[in-house]
Amino acid sequence: MKKTDQEWQSSLSDEEYKVARCGGTEHPFSGKFNSHKENGAYICNCCKEPLFSSEAKYDSGSGWPSFYTSINDNSTSTHRDTSHGMIRDEVKCAKCDAHLGHVFPDGPPPTGMRYCINSLSLDFKSEGE
């Protein structure tokens, strides 16, 4: 999915654009999906591709929505991120390349992974929609 920066800017709020298209991060505990408990799928705010199931969501205490796995092996991609003096694995939407957050190897079973995702990069589709 290819759009120009101008097209992304016109379809997203300033905050959503800063996070999803420029690799920003929302403040911890500020996102609308951090404490969200509804059943359904968390989808990319940019392209509406399903990314994470509510069944894989858990409270990591980090201040961001956390998941132990993505919805399928093809929904997200990871890339080495060495910004801010750290070495991390950035998570992006595989369809539109939106920045979602980072993944860490300190999550719960069964995967041991913690996908730490910005609410501003997500939307939600309720079960049955």
Cα 47 versus chain centre, distance? 12
Residue 86 neighbours by CB under 8 Å, 6+ apart: none
- Tell me if 107 sits within 8 A of 53, measured CB to CB: no
| 116 catalytically annotated | yes
CA distance 50 to 65: 15
Please name which of 101, 117, 118, 107 lies closest in space to residue 60, comparing C-alpha atoms: 107
Query: Active-site residue numbers?
Result: 116
